[in-house]
């Protein structure tokens, strides 16, 4: 059997180098812990980038996937399958919207949302093709050309231009900036309810409500990206529900399948009825029985185990622990976030150095933007895990 070092060396030879990986080969998971090939234990406050909401090796979830493997993994969208219907019913019930299209990832969900918005405007405006989308600065929506086009980070974009045209960028949480970008060609406004990669910035309630009112006034579609902040992470099943601002299109992924690659874009009745039609959009793998069985079981387990309620109970304790760390360590400037999606602003040293120090202590955390330490743990964490995280992070910061 190969050693961890041999796997890492071979990875650099055979995998395209688009990630600067940490020198760890993760081997297995149990609950909220991960273990590397050499047996070292890590408390996971990254959850596979906000994916493993239920933690690792969740018995009922694993059993459902094994059962589906024994029945049917894939057919195609030329036929119906029961798990897709059941997953769609549960997702729509959770968000109160009307139609869903299952994808393989969050990026693909964004692509579908963009297409739906443009088709809606195309039908409405007599087949015009000059429509524009307003997106936010410091946003992140994915790496494909369409998703990258509405991602407000020039560094990600510069090597891949020309991108999709017709995109204007406004300032997040600045309603007047959004209004200045809107014109008679605007077909949609897209934003993350809580900006993730850009630095863990929740939308201000007045801002989100103002954008919604502007969209309704101008018959512009509001697209809310809930790929990272959705599925209970902020204390509501979807973050927008806490604001009382319902989108026309919502995208979700990550914890939707708790590790199984699946995403979705969801539409209200108005948008679904006047946008994508047969032949406009498709996918080979999206909505297959295996992925949709995962989605269906995730919603069952959320309901049975009160996951969203648990987040509401646990988040204040996490916030208090993080606030104490900010008070103690001069290199931490502030905390911001919502629910179990929290960020610590780091000053005076590279955030990657803090991430590496935490890893050395047996704690997995992430970065967001250039100066934010991101904590997005499994939603099943308990106070004892938060205490353990605080102790490990305290030691990592003390060593800087």
The annotation status of 227 as a binding-site residue, yes or no, is: yes
Is 107 annotated in a binding site? The answer is: yes
Phi, psi (deg, nearest 5) at residue 337: 150, -170
Residue with tokens 């014109």, as numbered in its chain: 183
The answer to whether 196 and 230 have CB atoms below 8 angstroms apart is no
Q: Is 283 annotated as a binding residue?
A: yes
Cα separation of 7 and 13, whole Å?
A: 10
The verdict on whether residue 110 carries a ligand-binding annotation is no
Q: Give how far Cα 243 sits from Cα of 135, 236, 238, 390, Å.
A: 19, 10, 10, 30
343 is in an annotated binding site: no
Q: Would the annotation count 140 as a binding residue? A: yes
Q: Which two tokens stand for residue 163?
A: 């991108």
Q: Which residues, at least 6 apart from 115, have a Cβ–Cβ distance to it below 8 Å?
A: 276, 280, 281
Q: For residue 238, which of 193, 201, 191 has the smallest C-alpha distance? A: 193
CA-to-CA distance for 237 and 240, rounded, in angstroms?
Answer: 9
106 is in an annotated binding site: yes
Cis, bond preceding 326 (omega within 30 deg of 0): no
Query: How does DSSP classify residue 204?
Result: P
Termini Cα distance of the chain:
37
What residues form the annotated binding site? 106-107, 140, 143, 225-228, 283-284
What residues form the annotated binding site for pyridoxal 5'-phosphate? 106-107, 140, 225-228, 284
What residues form the annotated binding site for N(2)-acetyl-L-ornithine? 143, 283
């Amino acid at each position: 059997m190969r050693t961890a070092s041999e796997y890492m060396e071979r990875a650099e030879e055979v995998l395209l180098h688009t990630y600067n990986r940490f020198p760890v080969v993760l081997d297995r998971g149990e609950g909220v812990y991960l273990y590397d090939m050499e047996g070292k234990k890590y408390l996971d406050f990254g959850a596979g980038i906000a994916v493993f909401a239920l933690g690792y090796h969740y018995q009922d979830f694993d059993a459902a996937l094994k059962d589906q493997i024994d029945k049917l993994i894939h057919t195609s969208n030329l036929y119906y399958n029961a798990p897709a219907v059941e997953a769609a019913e549960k997702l729509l019930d959770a968000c109160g919207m009307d139609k869903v299209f299952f994808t393989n990832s969050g990026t693909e969900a964004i692509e579908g949302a963009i297409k739906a918005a443009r088709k809606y405007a195309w039908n409405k405006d007599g087949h015009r093709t000059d429509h524009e989308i307003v997106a936010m600065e410091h946003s992140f929506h994915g790496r494909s050309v369409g998703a990258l086009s509405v991602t407000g980070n020039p560094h990600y974009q510069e090597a891949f231009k020309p991108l999709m045209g017709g995109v204007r960028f406004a300032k997040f949480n600045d309603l007047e900036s959004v209004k200045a970008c809107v014109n008679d060609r605007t077909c949609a406004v897209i934003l993350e309810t809580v900006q993730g990669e850009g630095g863990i910035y929740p939308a201000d309630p007045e801002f989100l409500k103002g954008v919604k009112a502007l969209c309704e006034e101008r018959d512009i579609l509001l697209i809310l990206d809930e790929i990272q902040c959705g599925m209970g992470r902020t204390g509501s099943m979807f973050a927008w529900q806490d604001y009382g601002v319902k989108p026309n299109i919502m995208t979700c992924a990550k914890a939707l399948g708790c590790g199984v690659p699946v995403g979705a874009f969801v539409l209200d009745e108005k948008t679904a009825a006047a946008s994508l039609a047969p032949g406009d959009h498709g996918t080979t793998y999206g909505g297959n029985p295996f992925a949709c069985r995962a989605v269906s079981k995730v919603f069952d387990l959320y309901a049975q185990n009160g996951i969203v309620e648990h987040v509401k109970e646990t988040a204040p304790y996490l916030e208090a622990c993080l606030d104490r760390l900010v008070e103690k360590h001069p290199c931490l400037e502030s905390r911001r976030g919502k629910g179990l999606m929290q960020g610590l602003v780091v000053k005076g040293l590279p955030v990657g150095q803090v991430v590496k120090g935490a890893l050395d202590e047996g704690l997995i955390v992430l970065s967001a933007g250039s100066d934010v330490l991101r904590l997005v743990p499994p939603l099943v964490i308990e106070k004892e895990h938060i205490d353990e995280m605080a102790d490990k992070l305290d030691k990592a910061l003390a060593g800087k």
